Amino acid sequence: MARSNRREAGRRRLAMRLPHMRKLIMEARDPWQLELFEAYQMAVEARDSVRRRRFNPNLVLEYDETCLVIERHVICAIEEASYAHPLKSDEPSYPGG
């Protein structure tokens, strides 16, 4: 999967996983946030691959934990960005809008 596709797949997956932050995740443009989306997708792909092979249950647990850690990083990164740049009441909530 290409890097940009992996980032967008991670973004969509995180938006489903964290519905309370869905709008902010879908609007995120910060390079650090995009890197986290990509890392999340890579961790999920690795976990699912190991899970399908039924190779090592402990490794699946490690990847599950990695996914949760990345989710926490995403939450912090999204919250920091939203507090650093609050929208004015007359400002659109999406770029170009």
Mean pLDDT of all residues in 45-69 = 91
pTM here is: 0.78
The whole-number pLDDT of residue 57 equals 85
Instruction: Indicate whether 85 pLDDT > 90.
Output: no
Element of type H or E holding 12: helix 3-17
Rounded CA-CA distance 27/51 in Å is: 31
Instruction: Indicate whether 97 pLDDT > 70.
Output: no
Instruction: Indicate whether 3 pLDDT > 90.
Output: no
